Amino acid sequence: MDKVIGTVQLVLIVLKVIGAITWSWWLVLLPLWIGIILFLIIILIGGIALAVGKDKVKDERQKEIDRMWNGKHGEDD
C-alpha cells in the first residue's frame, strides 16, 4: 500500500511540475497527507489500547494486593 501511495504521489508531482495538471499543490500532495493522517490514527488507536490494557493490569494487581492484605491467599472472592 505504501508503494502505491508513493507512486501516485510521484506521478502527481511530475504532472504538476511539467504543467500537465493545473491543480493546487495541496491537491497534488493529498496522498502524502492521507498517509500521514492514517499513521497518526493508528498511533492514536495503539495508545488508547495500551492505556486500556495498563488499566486492566493495574486493576488485577490491586485485587491481588487486596486479597493478600485481607489474608485471602489464593482464595477466590
With respect to residue 77, please indicate whether it lies within any of the assigned structural domains. no
Summarised one tens digit per residue, pLDDT across range 53-64 is 777 777 778 788
**Residues 14 and 8: beta-carbon distance below 8 Å:** no
Q: Compute the radius of gyration of the chain from its Cα atoms.
A: 26
Q: What is the mean pLDDT of residues 1-9?
A: 83
With respect to residue 76, please indicate whether it lies within any of the assigned structural domains. no
With respect to residue 30, please indicate whether it lies within any of the assigned structural domains. yes
Cell of 26: 495541496
Question: What is the pLDDT confidence band of residue 3, given thresholds at 50, 70 and 90?
Answer: confident
CA 65 to chain centre: 34
Q: What is the pTM for the complete model shown?
A: 0.54
Considering its fold, how many domains does the chain have in total?
1
pLDDT of the residue at 66 = 82
Phi, psi of 72 (to 5 degrees): -105, 65
Question: What is the pLDDT confidence band of residue 74, given thresholds at 50, 70 and 90?
Answer: low
With respect to residue 29, please indicate whether it lies within any of the assigned structural domains. yes
- Residue 19 above 70 pLDDT? yes
Q: Which domain holds residue 45?
A: 2-69
